[in-house]
Amino acid sequence: MSAPENTFDLCVVGAGAAGMTAALVGAKLGLSVILLEKTQTVGGTMSTSAGTVWVPGSSVAQEAGMPNTLDDAVRYLAASAPVADRSLQDTYLRTGDEAVNFLQDNTHVRFLPPARHPDYQSALPHATAGGRALTAVPFDGRRLGRHFARLRPPIKEFMVLGGMMVGKDDIPPLLAPFASYANFRHVIRLLLRHGRDRLFHPRGTRLVMGSALAGRLLLSLLEAGVTIRFGVNCSSLVTEGERVTGIECNADGVEQVIHARRGTVLATGGFSGDQSRRASLVDPQLRSYTLAAPGNTGDGLRLAERVGAQFDGEHDNRAYWMPASIMMQPDGTQSVFPHIMLDRAKPGLIAVGSDGRRFVNEADSYHDFVLAMLANAPRTSPAWLICDSDFLSSYGLGMIYPKSGRRKLKKLLKNGYLASAEKLGDLAHAIGVDATGLSESVTLHNRDSEAGVDSAFGKGSTIYNRHNGDPRRTPNPCLRPIVKAPFFALPVYPADFATSTGIATDSDGRVLNIEGVAIPGLFACGNDMASIMRGRSPGPGVTLGPALIFGYRAARFMANAAAN
């Protein structure tokens, strides 16, 4: 017999993007909700993400003067993320605006469309340059009071001055504080706020991107009275006949059963950290990394499979990828830095394989970049980002900030983060790359840069490419000759930030068994649910978007279902 305080309408496993949303929506619709989290903090990978959701046709965009239609989005998806059965994608598109409005009207979650945030396949018909991508509005972590400590911190490498978050809009003023009065004022405000924060908090409390979204969800959950338990270890789902009625877990060192009258939601963030299932993602010979939260070890998938759930494993790609550079820290830990949009598209950088040859349009999306890497033999080598000293000082590279001093560079060269040489041939030799290939690649790239047209891969040919280039460089914001010694090379490896394959569900997140029939009382969302894009990445926000929208739908389904 378990105590009545362990009986809820809704039990959610995993306090990341999908789980926090499902729990919050359930509570707002009148359900009693418990949220079980394995680690000591909420937020999961969402906390370290850019916090962008891809929601076509939203009223938020309409009100900001960036209208875009669902019909166009349907056509765009058909070309950029084609799937045999479009029903889940259609449900996603139809529910997006409703889910965003529900969160904005009933909770502290707020979104805004950045003025420009192009779809990733921007050369395809019906792509947009902005309006579909919405980002979380910055959040003041002080509003969480003592619960601020329960929010998973952002990636250390994305913070400066011992814990100040830097959003995309902060970067230009920070790089050129004296370029205008507005820049100067922005920087002074950031610094004053951060200085004050550090008197009272271990890190900055001005939260942006995914951290802001997680903070907004946490504040809303606390106010909605959702019970949150930390350090919970779930062992198995409880069933009565076909129906899942709760979960067995160890919480606070005590074995217990949580009963869920309406349903149990699995939202444990996919299987990035499950080494055996991970072997299905990449050639085990290939050195690969993960950017997902350390708690995401595939628990939800295992729990579901044990009660007969269907694993949907045949996707175009089984994970979502970013190229990442790796730095060994003095304490022996490794920093994994994702190259999302700050360096690859800028003019004066190429990526080559061990043959010294380019294999990709470097300015394409992070996911497409890695897919090209994986297709480029030999699969066991990293790709090398090659640039000259002008590039490094103008734009930085990975963990190297622009205008980094000689001392900092010397340190990074010494610890092996990057390599450098006065001549390209010596650089090729130092990194074990074919020297003739590298020399020919740079020669062709430099000739194309003068003409402004990348004849090999079309770098700078799309709206998305140019968005991340340097607008001061004409005619092509993504091309500039690589000429000024010393030359630099930085190795990048595939790092997944989300898994795509997962549990098969219907359009309300109900888990399907191997016959395709819903298992009563069991739901999955976020990366535990098989991605509706099936490993394609049509635009910014295609894992957080579905996490929120199917989290919303699952909770709404349970709220509408008769109690039993």
Ligand X SMILES: Cc1cc2nc3c(=O)[nH]c(=O)nc-3n(C[C@H](O)[C@H](O)[C@H](O)COP(=O)(O)OP(=O)(O)OC[C@H]3O[C@@H](n4cnc5c(N)ncnc54)[C@H](O)[C@@H]3O)c2cc1C
Element (H, E) at 211: helix 209-223
Taking phi first (over 0 means left), then psi (-120 to 50 degrees means alpha), and beta for anything else, what does residue 145 get?
left
Q: Which helix (H) or strand (E) holds 79?
A: helix 70-80
Least distance to ligand X, CB of residue 486, Å: 30
Q: CB–CB of 70/82 below 8 Å?
A: no
Q: Please state, in angstroms and as integers, the Cα–Cα distance from residue 462 to each residue in 128, 244, 372, 387, following that order.
A: 12, 49, 17, 22
Q: Is 483 helix (H, G, I), strand (E, B) or coil?
A: coil
Beta bridge partners of 522: 264
Q: Which helix (H) or strand (E) holds 491?
A: strand 487-499
> Residue 122 and residue 12: Cα distance in Å, rounded?
37
> Could you give the CA distance from residue 128 to residue 56 in angstroms, rounded to a whole number?
10
- Asked if 291 and 48 count as a contact pair (C-beta separation under 8 A), the reply is yes
Q: How far is the CB of 157 from ligand X (least distance, A)?
A: 10
Smaller CB distance to ligand X: residue 400 or 548? 548
Min dist CB 230 to ligand X, Å, is 9
Binding site for ligand X (CB under 6 A): 13-19, 36-39, 44-46, 48-52, 210, 232, 234, 267-270, 291-293, 295-296, 299, 338, 497-498, 526-527, 540-545, 547
Which residue of the chain is nearest ligand X when measured via CB? 16
Q: Return the number of the residue (51 or 494) whose C-beta is nearest ligand X.
A: 51
Please say which residue, 256 or 476, places its beta carbon nearer to ligand X: 256
Specify whether the CB–CB gap between 259 and 7 falls below 8 A.
yes
The CB-of-136 to ligand X minimum distance in angstroms stands at: 9
Residue with Cβ nearer ligand X (395 or 497) = 497
What sections of 461-543 are H helices per DSSP?
A: 463-467
Nearest approach, Cβ of residue 499 and ligand X (Å): 8
Cβ at position 16, least distance to ligand X in Å: 2
Nearer to ligand X, 144 or 232 (CB): 232
Identity of the residue numbered 59: S
Q: Smallest distance, Å, CB 328 to ligand X?
A: 20
| Cβ closest to ligand X, residue 292 vs residue 555 | 292
Q: Are 525 and 545 in contact (CB under 8 A)?
A: no
Residue 264 or 449: the one with the smaller Cβ distance to ligand X is 264
Task: Decide: helix, strand or coil at residue 224.
Answer: coil
Q: C-alpha distances in angstroms, 531 versus 94, 346, 507? A: 17, 31, 12
User: From the CB of 190, what's the least distance to ligand X, in Å?
Assistant: 21
Nearer to ligand X (CB atom), residue 257 or residue 413:
257
